[in-house]
Amino acid sequence: MTIIMASVLIACETQEGEPAYMGYEYFGYSEGKWLIYEVDSTVYDDFLEEIFHYNYQVKEVNSGFFINARGDSSMRIERFFRADESQPWQIKNVWTAELQSQRALKTEENITYVKLAFPLKQNHTWNGNLYNTKQSQTYRVTDIHSPHHEGLLEFDSTLTVLQKEFITLIGEEYQYEVYAAGVGMIRKKYLELAKEIDGTITRGVDYTYSLIEYGFNDNPAEK
């Protein structure tokens, strides 16, 4: 990890030779880090004409670095699921992440997104779908270096990335993520709804990830 960050910083020096502020710490790219999220999800099923509510927990563990197909270093993220604290964790899937000099990438369900683009600053924009086949989507930093309360947790310095905000008479799409320095993502909002003209929701999904606990293990295998 030290070697990776050193090489990244060398590539981003100012003309005066001083390292430029990039904001890499917001990605939380540390081996052994784990995060537990409370997930609140609502699904509007137009076929069954029903509304389903789900509450569960997801745990993400940065289990270690590996060399990817391009010969670059990536992080293996093991993801676990449980209905509540009374249940044991069950492995759900494995994602990956990669920290480059100008971008922070995360591959979710085999789709790679540009989560952050460096250097981070207010109103900085980039294409979050640069590395996948989806339509171009502009991500924008709407808030940076701000304190934030997430449930019972307090963070001195956070970053908010607005991923999508599109509202019409027949639909609503709203997506953002909040990152804390040295931790990574602490909150995620994903809203995608189809509506009737009168505002009635016909189909879609609305879910939120909220960080409730996190830590760092000397041995990533200890979960």
pLDDT band at 10 (very low <50, low <70, confident <90, very high): very low
Average pLDDT value over all residues in the chain: 91
pLDDT in tens, 106-159: 999 999 999 999 999 999 999 999 999 999 999 999 999 999 999 999 999 999
Query: What single letter denotes the amino acid at residue 147?
Result: P
* 81/59 Cα distance (integer angstroms): 6
Q: Report which of 113, 76, 114 is spatially closest to residue 95, judged by C-alpha positions.
A: 76
> Which CATH architecture is the domain 23-216 placed in?
Beta Barrel (2.40)
Q: Within a 10 A sphere around the Cβ of 188, how many other Cβ atoms?
A: 19
pLDDT in tens, 16-69: 556 778 999 999 999 999 999 999 999 999 988 999 999 999 999 999 999 998
Structure tokens at 198: 């009168």
Query: What single letter denotes the amino acid at residue 7?
Result: S
Q: Report which of 166, 167, 124 is spatially closest to residue 145, judged by C-alpha positions.
A: 124
* 52/45 Cα distance (integer angstroms): 8
Q: Has residue 13 got a pLDDT over 70?
A: no
Q: Measuring CA to CA, how many Å separate 119 from each of 67, 79, 101?
A: 25, 28, 9
Q: Could you tell me the residue ranges of all domains in the chain?
A: 23-216
Q: Has residue 81 got a pLDDT over 90?
A: yes
- The model's pTM is 0.89
